[in-house]
Amino acid sequence: MQDYPIGRTDIPWNEDEKDEWLKSQTIQRSYADEVLSKFIRISKDFKKNHYGVLPIDASRYPLYAFTTSKWDVNKPNVLITGGVHGYETSGVQGAIEFLIHHAPRYSRHFNFIVAPCVSPWGYETVNRWTTNAYDPNRSFAPISFSAEAQLLMDFVKGFISSEPKALLAHFDLHETTDTDNSEFRPALAARDGLHIDKWQIPDGFYTVADTKKPQLSFQQAIIASVEKVTHIAPSDDEGRIIGAKIISTGVICYDKSSLLLCGGFTDAEYVTTTEVYPDSPNATPQSCIEAQVAAITGGLDFLLSHAK
Cβ atoms of 14 and 22 within 8 Å: the answer is: no
pTM, full prediction = 0.97
| Alpha carbon separation from 206 to 41, 53, 115, 179 (Å, rounded) | 30, 32, 21, 18
What pLDDT does 49 receive? 97
What pLDDT does 3 receive? 79
How confident is the chain (308 residues) per 10-residue block, as mean pLDDT?
83 97 98 98 96 97 97 94 98 98 96 98 98 97 95 92 78 97 95 90 97 97 97 92 95 97 95 97 96 98 88
What pLDDT does 163 receive? 59
What pLDDT does 1 receive? 43
What pLDDT does 161 receive? 74
